[in-house]
Structure 1
Amino acid sequence: MHRPFHKGRSRHPRARSFIILFFALIGLATLAGPAFAHAVAEGDKGYIQEITGIQLIPFLYLGAKHMVTGYDHILFLLGVIFFLYRPQHIATYVSLFAIGHSTTMLAGVYFDIGINSYVIDAIIGLSVVYKALDNMGAYQRWCGFQPNTKAATLIFGFFHGFGLSTKIIEYNISPEGLVPNLLAFNVGVEIGQFLALSAILIAISYWRWKPGFWRHAYTLNVAMMVAGFALTGYQIAGLFATSAA
């Protein structure tokens, strides 16, 4: 339920300024180091490793913090809702994404399904690329068909969930109270997602009323695509660096 467009890039000075700022923010994120890239702050990790039993509030906080500061998840959500106007359509796609990442996050941690964090984060970066290209109508032009957007949102939700489970496994949390703590973390993720999504919707809804929306929308999706490639390249570089060490 999106509206991919086929208009050319805008050369408006404000669009260029916005994209420069966009790239600067992504650059700061990707250059911030492995701890930020994998969203496992040393203070949080140390605290979680020290506590045992049911600790709902700390895990609720960590789940919300991860989603709000998870720029890869936010970029994908931005792409998903970029051309969604009706609340029911937004609710449908966000629900599919939530079902996907909740399923693999819970199953991944409970069954200790370990996936290399660089590999899964590279795939998450590619999900941003996929959605940006989808918004630009690339698949219709290149392949002559439109992929099922709902299925893609659910499938990439599964990958994002494995990204979440990888972060939790890195905490080396105590098995005591594991299930309640996982559920609290997942609730926190949904709260963080709601907060991030609300901010995105407010901003993009305001932008849609501006006459320059269609002039700049293509440019923003190009920037989002490049950011996805940058995130993927960063993770692949990290994978090779750790393998060579």
Structure 2
Amino acid sequence: MTTHAPPWGLGRAQAGRLALPLLLLLLLLAFAFLATEALAHNVTLGDKGYIEEVTGPKPLAFLYLGAKHMVTGYDHILFLAGVIFFLHGMKQIGTYVSLFAIGHSTTMLAGVWFGFGINPYVIDAIIGFSVVYKALDNLGAFPAWFGVQPDPKAATLIFGFLHGFGLASKILDYGIAPDGLLVNLISFNIGVEVGQLLALAGILMFMRHWRASPAFARQAYTANVVMMSVGFVLMGIQLSGLAFA
């Protein structure tokens, strides 16, 4: 079974139906650029203050912070939902989720350890773009528009790397102490994976009931257009923060 093709088989006529939503997205993007700087780079002040002040190994605290970041990270969860949207069977789902986990774990750990981060607004805008990309992939837009289907596994891994840089940038922005860094960093990463599994469990439970509905194919098209719209808005918010920072 093809893991990334939508059940309706988007053709050129249906791809043309995206024209109006895309025009509306331009308006949403313009609106997003009006967002305030506070919306552009929202940071949990309590968590930031704790990380800035704490020193030494605190594995349980950082495990909790990692899980909390993933569970409340709507951009990560949206991308993850898009990745598994049309996947069936735990083997397929496990393969894609593992690729995403390998990607973001690698760049998160390496980024913090070597002190390499990307401007938070830029990397969060790229993460927003990953949601747009996955929604378009689910809609079958790439074969219809460009005559080529990008490798979904490679895309999942690449975007995993980019999501990891987002995590690394936030941790570096918190000013994590070098004392106990390795233990805290590994604990945070484990927490991220725990949070990802919790989020994945909730998504799979919802998807299982939704797929049983006879209206799933029709609603799935709309859901992915909405997902694409949200991704564009997230991009606009971050780019507005970059412009007015």
**Normalised-by-shorter TM-score class:** 0.7 to 0.9
Answer yes or no: is the 8 Å Cα contact 1:126–1:228 preserved in 2.
yes
Answer yes or no: is the 8 Å Cα contact 2:40–2:241 preserved in 1.
no
* Among candidates 50, 53, 57, match of residue 54 of structure 1: 57
Decide which moves more: 169-178 or 119-128.
Answer: 169-178
* Among candidates 164, 167, 177, match of residue 164 of structure 1: 167
Given the two structures, how large is their TM-score scaled by the length of structure 1? 0.86
Corresponding residue number in structure 2 for 1:17: none
**Separation in structure 2 between the aligned mates of residue 31 and residue 47 of structure 1, nearest angstrom:** 28
Say if 2:193 is the partner of 1:190.
yes
Secondary structure of 1:175 counterpart:
coil
Deviations 1:77-122 (A, max 9, x none): 0100000011100000000000000000000000010210000000
Answer yes or no: is the 8 Å Cα contact 2:36–2:241 preserved in 1.
no
Say if 2:141 is the partner of 1:138.
yes
**Separation in structure 2 between the aligned mates of residue 114 and residue 142 of structure 1, nearest angstrom:** 34
**Separation in structure 1 between the aligned mates of residue 190 and residue 85 of structure 2, nearest angstrom:** 24
Change beyond 3 A, Cα 1:32–1:175 = same
Which runs of 5 or more structure 2 residues have no equivalent in the other structure?
16-27
Aligned length in residues: 223
Change beyond 3 A, Cα 1:32–1:77 = farther
Shift of 1:145: 1.4
**Separation in structure 2 between the aligned mates of residue 69 and residue 57 of structure 1, nearest angstrom:** 18
Corresponding residue number in structure 2 for 1:19: none
Given the two structures, how large is their TM-score scaled by the length of structure 2? 0.86
Shift of 1:171: 1.3
Change beyond 3 A, Cα 1:207–1:62 = same
Corresponding residue number in structure 2 for 1:14: none
Corresponding residue number in structure 2 for 1:2: 4
Corresponding residue number in structure 1 for 2:154: 151
Secondary structure of 1:43 counterpart:
helix
Shift of 1:167: 0.9
Answer yes or no: is the 8 Å Cα contact 1:129–1:229 preserved in 2.
yes
RMSD: 2.0
Say if 2:90 is the partner of 1:94.
no
Secondary structure of 2:149 counterpart:
coil
Say if 2:126 is the partner of 1:123.
yes
**Separation in structure 1 between the aligned mates of residue 40 and residue 108 of structure 2, nearest angstrom:** 18
Say if 2:212 is the partner of 1:216.
no
Q: Which runs of 4+ in 1 moved over 6 A?
A: 30-33
Shift of 1:37: 5.8
